[in-house]
Structure 1
Amino acid sequence: MNQQSTAEHALLGAPHQYLTPLTRPSLEEAQSWCRELTRLHYENFHVASMFVPPHARRHFDSIYSYCRVADDLGDEVDDPLVAMRLLDAWGSMLDECYDTPERSMHPVFVALRETIVACELPRQLFHDLLIAFRMDQVKTEYETWQELLDYSHYSANPVGRLVLLVCGYREESIALLSDKICTALQLANFWQDVVEDKERGRRYIPAEWMDRFHIDEGQIEGRIFTPEFGAMIRDLVTRTRAMLAEGGEITRHVDRDLAVTLNLFRKGGDAILSGIAAQEYDVLRGRPVVSKSKKVSLLIGSLFEKLRSRISW
């Protein structure tokens, strides 16, 4: 099988928009593909990239596109065996991007190669994300808080570390603060999506917390809210908010532009937790959301903060 047909069939079974093209795109075409994918998925990572220096945005787009496609290969494919095969193929394409980049055919890896070289990004961070997506195929329940931290080590923390590397920060002490923010964001999403995750056959509330507050597994499926359930979620939210605050110290160790971006991430997570609290911790009656007005407020606040950072007196 020749190089083109190998690439073409590597993602057989993936969502159509992610199939490898028959011809290798140019760097400009690949970067345009990643930019469009990022634009179409209006999420925190894309919004935050608006606040980084223009020369770094293409790197954010390529990293985001790698994460977005990998996430969808794991989550948008019904058969776990097919999802595992697709994730393995994505990992092989990542190794190809590092070892024989001239053979890369997918626009993500054509664009990502430039980012990898320019920012000296280690491949393990990209592979760590795939570990998390593979875990999602086989592990559906979590027993302890530590298990959630271990999962977040792979699912969330690599993204923050990649952002720091793109922005020129390689100190481990700063990366550890980033880990706290990223892990807390992951946990906030878990507490926000309790019902949705249960409908997909997953439970991220650790069993040790359910035992401590005398919560029965059937309460989540039956959406049976009790004072004990509310107390459990309040405890998890409090612990997560403290982690966010601890990670917020990172803004004292980076430049003002990056601090604005990281603050936007942190405030977004804090807004999710506040939304949960506003529902009196009843995440079973509906998914707590950050209102559009709140999102706009966060964006405007970040824009003003960025403008202030540009003014010197």
Structure 2
Amino acid sequence: MSTETTLSMDDRLIGAPAEYLTPAERPTLAAAQEWCRTLATTHYENFHVATWFLPKRIRPYFESIYAFSRVSDDLGDEVADTAVATRLLTSWRAMLDECYDQPERSRHPVFVALQQTTSETQAPKQLFADLIHAFQMDQTVTRYESLEQLVGYSHYSANPVGRLVLWVSGYRDEERAMLSDKVCTALQLINFWQDVVEDWERDRRYLPADTMARFGVTDATIAGKQFTPEYRAMMVYLVDYARTMLAEGAAISGTVDRELAVTLQLFSKGGFAAIDGIVAQGYDVLAKRPSVSKATKAKLLAGALAGKFLGLFSGGRQ
């Protein structure tokens, strides 16, 4: 990344991945924004594609939000020592407070870029704090007992991102925010259903215990990658649960301007495509991780492009 990451003596992120260390000197806003843009475009290609459909003036907002979320996640997930990860996340939360309360002291490129986002949009600090809270939860909670608990976790881990997207796009009402919550929670659940084996290998289980018990699935079933009729029945139920929630939330695209609608539809359709991937392999997520084919991704992109150009020729509004 373009911003130098020379470690200062008082750096609070000692123990973090080297690319996330705070530079010795505060970067310019342009350099900080470039740092966030590089992180976004090199770590998650779908984010880069989706933001292309947004008005150019608000793309830096999205990139700073993504960078904040990405670093927060990696401080929790990419640091093997739980105690170190917990300390880093606590420091990151203090740096968030500093960004809002003493912005002149911020030196990390994420918070230098985020300052423009928060000052120009008045984005609530609590939404960013909720994301950090989710990653702090990951350090101590590795099993979930019910779907309700998973939905509660998603309140912190996924929903703030959708609400921030709406907020910086000028939509502040709770009705749209609740639709966004459904989309974001559904996408989080779908990701869990895809990553059962990978999560298990990291000593995490996001399949709810009560649902497992209802269908006669045990931890041994997951550990042994035993795709039984009971496991299939459970996955059918869980996938249908997420599909219904996603379908309900997807209605949000009809309530926003066309440019934002194209981006929101891209994420919703991506979620449905991921579900289709699970179904296509007979719900057997234990044999291999379901994925969205390149052909499907191309089709989604083509549809989004059509929506983008339609918006341009119709004045950009639905």
Q: Could you say whether these structures have the same fold, taking a TM-score greater than 0.5 normalized by the shorter chain as the test?
A: yes
TM-score by length of 2: 0.95
Equivalent-residue separation in structure 2 for 1:288 and 1:252 (angstroms): 29
User: Which residue matches 1:290?
Assistant: 292
User: Which residue matches 2:26?
Assistant: 24
By how many angstroms is 1:7 displaced?
A: 7.7
Residue 165 of structure 1 pairs with residue 160 of structure 2: no
- Deviation string, structure 1 residues 81-137 (Cα, Å, up to 9, x no partner): 100000000000000000000000001000000000111101000000011001111
User: Which residue matches 1:177?
Assistant: 179
Equivalent-residue separation in structure 1 for 2:96 and 2:210 (angstroms): 37
Equivalent-residue separation in structure 1 for 2:270 and 2:97 (angstroms): 33
User: Which residue matches 2:113?
Assistant: 111
Equivalent-residue separation in structure 1 for 2:234 and 2:300 (angstroms): 28
Equivalent-residue separation in structure 2 for 1:80 and 1:38 (angstroms): 26
Alignment of 1:2-13 (within 5 A): 8-13=10-15
Query: CA 1:5 to 1:293, structure 2 compared with 1: closer, same or farther past 3 Å?
Result: closer
Tell me the SS of whatever aligns to 1:134.
Answer: helix
Equivalent-residue separation in structure 2 for 1:9 and 1:135 (angstroms): 24
Alignment of 1:86-105 (within 5 A): 86-105=88-107
Contact 2:7 2:22 in 1 (8 A): no
Equivalent-residue separation in structure 2 for 1:43 and 1:154 (angstroms): 23
Q: Find the partner of 2:242 among 237, 240, 243.
A: 240
The residue type paired with residue 226 of structure 2 is I
Residue 121 of structure 1 pairs with residue 123 of structure 2: yes
Equivalent-residue separation in structure 1 for 2:312 and 2:236 (angstroms): 39
Equivalent-residue separation in structure 2 for 1:8 and 1:287 (angstroms): 42
User: Which residue matches 1:189?
Assistant: 191
Contact 1:132 1:151 in 2 (8 A): yes
By how many angstroms is 1:306 displaced?
A: 1.3
Equivalent-residue separation in structure 1 for 2:191 and 2:314 (angstroms): 38
Equivalent-residue separation in structure 2 for 1:71 and 1:46 (angstroms): 18
User: Which residue matches 1:300?
Assistant: 302
By how many angstroms is 1:43 displaced?
A: 4.0
Contact 1:60 1:163 in 2 (8 A): yes
- Deviation string, structure 1 residues 41-86 (Cα, Å, up to 9, x no partner): 1243332111110000111111100000010000000001100000
Equivalent-residue separation in structure 1 for 2:184 and 2:235 (angstroms): 19
Contact 2:192 2:206 in 1 (8 A): yes
Equivalent-residue separation in structure 1 for 2:246 and 2:117 (angstroms): 28
Contact 2:76 2:139 in 1 (8 A): yes
Q: Number of residue pairs matched?
A: 310
Contact 1:213 1:232 in 2 (8 A): yes
Equivalent-residue separation in structure 1 for 2:36 and 2:81 (angstroms): 26
Equivalent-residue separation in structure 2 for 1:261 and 1:135 (angstroms): 29
Query: CA 1:292 to 1:274, structure 2 compared with 1: closer, same or farther past 3 Å?
Result: same
Equivalent-residue separation in structure 2 for 1:294 and 1:192 (angstroms): 17
Unaligned runs of 5+ in 1: none
Equivalent-residue separation in structure 1 for 2:208 and 2:93 (angstroms): 29
By how many angstroms is 1:8 displaced?
A: 4.5
Residue 281 of structure 1 pairs with residue 254 of structure 2: no
User: Which residue matches 1:68?
Assistant: 70
Contact 1:31 1:107 in 2 (8 A): yes
Equivalent-residue separation in structure 1 for 2:152 and 2:102 (angstroms): 32
Equivalent-residue separation in structure 2 for 1:5 and 1:305 (angstroms): 45
Tell me the SS of whatever aligns to 1:137.
Answer: coil
Q: CA RMSD in A?
A: 1.4
Contact 2:8 2:23 in 1 (8 A): no
TM-score by length of 1: 0.97
- Deviation string, structure 1 residues 185-205 (Cα, Å, up to 9, x no partner): 000000000000000000001
By how many angstroms is 1:6 displaced?
A: 7.2
Contact 1:177 1:249 in 2 (8 A): yes
User: Which residue matches 2:3?
Assistant: none
How high is the sequence identity, in percent, across the aligned residues?
59
Query: CA 1:49 to 1:312, structure 2 compared with 1: closer, same or farther past 3 Å?
Result: closer
